[in-house]
Structure 1
Amino acid sequence: MHTVKHWFSDSLMAQGLVVLVLGVGLGALFRGDAHPGLWVIQGLFYTVVVMGALAFQRRRTSRATGADTRTIAGLTRKIRHREVPRDPEERAVMRRLVDDQLGKIERGGRWLPYWLGFMGMAAVGLVVLGATTDGSLVFPLVFAVGVVAFCFWILWMRRRALELHHHMRSALRDRA
């Protein structure tokens, strides 16, 4: 299991394979009456879009830290496990990585209330539409509960990431 996790975090090809399988599976689930070739085409489209975004993000992080993607993946694992590297050069790269990721998290926090509000309005709107039409309320209520759970998960993950990166920033300062 340890090697599979490393393979997925290091390999863009492995991540693309997972996105392709999920895209084809979701196409089959939601468009069961369509031709299977359409599922594959949609899965390939989703894969290209996601892989382009991931490659762009990796290149941006690589430029910001001055390290290659494998080094960044290894340092990200060390950040998650709260391990501070002993090598001064590796510590400097990790410091730049932590600063870059903290900047992304804090910049994203400015738009977070708007995104959460939009998601809440969509959930409430779907419940209202379900209540005013002759349809069943089961799907709108399940969707609304799912949206609320997803919003709380986003807030929890953001708080956890902020705490982790602030801890690493102070740990890197203390060892300097």
Structure 2
Amino acid sequence: MTEHLTSEPGHAVVVMGVAGCGKSTIGSLLAARWGVRFIDADDLHPPSNVAKMTAGIPLDDVDRLPWLRRVGTVLAEETVLERDVVVACSALRRTYRDELRRSAGHELAFVHLDADRDLLIDRIAGRSDYFLPPALLDSQLAVLEPLDTDETGVTIDVAEPPDLVVERTATWRRARSTASPR
């Protein structure tokens, strides 16, 4: 049985965190559970960003801004058509999340997937098809700003199995949409 993201269409959930936290896995599982579209923001990076990261060079804000705007525009397109969507996007800093909100044109719900460095390194090292080398994890951890109290979101430890992470996220979202539909 598919449960709905909310009772009204046109909502977006951004699954955020550093490399290796499981954004794509959890995001796609949430989207399947809710019967909505899943978008991986990594697929929206321009080739120049992918080339930098593949070479082990961290992105700077000049690299990120056009990408974040593109992700926000995709969010806006989905929600203006009254389609719910789950997006996996690092969204590491508050300013990045603010840009996503600005570009989307509405509030977004963030699910911050959190884990300790050792678990993240193990996960990244186990990937053969991922363009981000493990060496860039430390730069992401240095940039990461946890959700502020005025941001709509939840932080969930991903040391637990994916199905439990998904259940905790769905429980949070249900409680949130019952208390405040938008």
TM-score (norm 1): 0.23
More helix per residue: 1 or 2?
A: 1
TM-score (norm 2): 0.23
Larger Rg: 1
More relative contact order, 1 or 2 (CA 8 Å, 6+ apart): 2
